[in-house]
Structure 1
Amino acid sequence: MPNWLDVVIRSILFMIILFLITKWLGKKQISQLSFFEYVNGITIGSIGAEVVTGLEQKISLGIIAIITCAAIPFLAGLLSLKSKGFRGFIEGKGSIFIKDGKIMEDNLKKERYSTDELLELLRKKNVFQVSDVEFAVLEPTGDLSVLLKKENQPLTAKDLNMSVATVKEPQTVIMDGKILDEPLTTIGRSRRWLITELEKLGVTIDNVFLGQVNSYGELTVDLYDDKLKVPSPQERPLILATMKKCQADLESFALGTENKEAKELYRKNSEKLQKAIEKVSPILRN
């Protein structure tokens, strides 16, 4: 067998083996790595490269070496699930860099981080002033987790005592100009409904690069031709506008009638509708 063909076969074989091993170890191996996983990954890669290019090396020995190295983090992961101490030793522990708004200089020196590097990590979290931070910890993966002081945290619906509707994940129903039936079934829609919605937008299925249905059941599309503009969904704004018109009509009826009972009835219903409008406005606005 020619040497070049031997290298090609070895490369394909070890790519398949490394892919299967990575799938076996799980998604954690392709996320941010711990020190142990980082060293293990380098070792496996080095073994694979040596066997692929070293034609005098036996393929079987390389496979055994890779499987052995892959088994080590797998077993270490099982032990880590059962022992917190072992998990801390293998994966490392977080280091507190800012506590109660004050920088922990000793922890910075221990992790060999300069003040400039700390500021850089904060900027990556869109934090440009240390005094805005209540707590910050350097995770074992090297990422910095930041908790802003209460007054610097963005407002939420809970802070404003507002009730908001539950948001579900959008379903992709059109991809590359083709209808995906499974997502349509998931949201209880049919192809007929989809075609009707496309007609409302004035586009055909062939023109759509990507189409998604949001948690409100509205279809949004991205077209192949970026110069074409597609109107945004108007169902919710129309409902809100209709409610406001009804509320205004009730007020007008209350002012226009001389009957006291009818006037009171219109006024009460107008107030009820106004309260309903205030509750649903955050949902019905685009």
Structure 2
Amino acid sequence: MDIPQWLNIIIRSVLLVMVLFLLTKWLGKKQLSQLSFFEYIAGITIGSIAAEISTGLETNFFHGLYSMLVWTAIPFFAGLLAIKSKKARDFIEGRETVVIKDGKIQEENLTKQKYTVDELLHLLRKKNAFQVSDVEFAVLEANGDLNVLLKKEKQPVTPQDLDLETAPVKVPETVILEGKVVDSGLAACGLTREWLDVELQKLGIVLDNVYIGQVDSYGQLTADLYDDKIKLPKPQEKPMLLSALKKCHADLESFALATENEAAKQMYKENSEKLAEIIKNSEYLLVN
């Protein structure tokens, strides 16, 4: 019995989706921006062959599969060769190119890569570099990405630059998801449902209205609500702690001035200086 053409197309298409999935798994996981020119061309060709086999009823199904296997095997073995040989890798995948050095565009390298100055400036803006002279080094990778190193004086100030010690930042834990409590997230933070109820009361919200709630490294609950019109109050724990530290520092200085006892005066003064150092090192963490 002859199979209707529409059913034949459906069967071919389903089989080809399964074959393409298996072939893609065989080639490995790479995003489109990470593909070499060779892999990109092979991918387009394999897709074209699959489309032709799926709808071209006059063509031989297995001949198309053989062609797809060949086009899949070539980039696969080329990738293995690239792993083994640096020269082969440079030829197949390409090499990175320096396009800016010491704040100056390398015009010859830019021309070799078929890039215009406008295209380079566009890529720089995507990296938050709006002036060429601010760039110490810019490299155009083989996959087309541009990596930029700003000059030292143009880089953002970090706590390390200020000789400030910082606590390690932990991954935020999700404790509420779509109005439901995530007990595993609470357990990872060492917190309980009772703590969560108190925090929700402080924010003036109910559990059912929370789309996602997370606890950050400092133990603060942040929430995204279903109703975006509701404005949540900013957490006050850190500002209140900073205020308490500053008040304590002022009290110690006041006690040092008020007492006649030299030993007590020295004690108040020393602790006042220690507290001032603590406030200086932690203030940037407590202002927000």
Q: Same fold (TM over 0.5)?
A: yes
| Alignment check: 8 A CA contact 1:251 1:270 kept | yes
Residue 214 of structure 1: how far off its partner (Å): 1.1
TM-score (norm 1): 0.89
- 1:278 paired residue number: 280
| CA shift in 2, pair 1:215/1:46, >3 Å | same
- 1:183 paired residue number: 185
Amino acid at match of 1:230: L
Does structure 1 residue 89 correspond to structure 2 residue 91? yes
Residue 157 of structure 1: how far off its partner (Å): 1.9
Q: How far apart are the structure 1 equivalents of 2:23 and 2:201?
A: 48
The within-5 A match list for 1:67-82 is: 67-82=69-84
Q: How far apart are the structure 2 equivalents of 1:87 and 1:47?
A: 27
| CA shift in 2, pair 1:163/1:100, >3 Å | same
Find the partner of 1:243 among 242, 245, 254: 245
What are the superposed Cα offsets for residues 115-149 of structure 1, whole Å, 9 maximum, x if unpaired? 23222322332323222222222111112222222
- 1:153 paired residue number: 155
Amino acid at match of 1:97: V
| Alignment check: 8 A CA contact 2:123 2:146 kept | yes
| Alignment check: 8 A CA contact 2:170 2:217 kept | yes
The within-5 A match list for 1:97-246 is: 97-246=99-248
Amino acid at match of 1:226: D
Residue 270 of structure 1: how far off its partner (Å): 1.4
| Alignment check: 8 A CA contact 1:177 1:210 kept | yes
Residue 263 of structure 1: how far off its partner (Å): 2.1
What are the superposed Cα offsets for residues 234-268 of structure 1, whole Å, 9 maximum, x if unpaired? 22222222222222222222222232222222222
| Alignment check: 8 A CA contact 1:212 1:220 kept | yes
Q: How far apart are the structure 2 equivalents of 1:68 and 1:186?
A: 49
Q: How far apart are the structure 2 equivalents of 1:227 and 1:198?
A: 17
| Alignment check: 8 A CA contact 1:165 1:283 kept | no
Q: How far apart are the structure 2 equivalents of 1:78 and 1:182?
A: 42
What are the superposed Cα offsets for residues 33-68 of structure 1, whole Å, 9 maximum, x if unpaired? 211111111012112111111223454444444344
| Alignment check: 8 A CA contact 2:33 2:144 kept | no
Q: How far apart are the structure 2 equivalents of 1:185 and 1:170?
A: 13
Amino acid at match of 2:113: E
Amino acid at match of 2:117: T
Amino acid at match of 1:37: E
The RMSD of aligned alpha carbons is 2.3
Does structure 1 residue 16 correspond to structure 2 residue 18? yes
Q: How far apart are the structure 2 equivalents of 1:194 and 1:23?
A: 43
- 2:258 paired residue number: 256
The within-5 A match list for 1:33-48 is: 33-48=35-50
Unaligned runs of 5+ in 1: none
Give the length in aligned residue pairs: 286
Residue 29 of structure 1: how far off its partner (Å): 4.1
Q: How far apart are the structure 1 equivalents of 2:130 and 2:56?
A: 51
| Alignment check: 8 A CA contact 2:169 2:217 kept | yes
| Alignment check: 8 A CA contact 1:177 1:209 kept | yes
TM-score (norm 2): 0.89
What are the superposed Cα offsets for residues 69-117 of structure 1, whole Å, 9 maximum, x if unpaired? 3333333323222211111111100122122332222222222222232
| Alignment check: 8 A CA contact 1:220 1:232 kept | no
Q: How far apart are the structure 2 equivalents of 1:228 and 1:143?
A: 40
Identity of aligned residues (%): 60
Unaligned runs of 5+ in 2: none
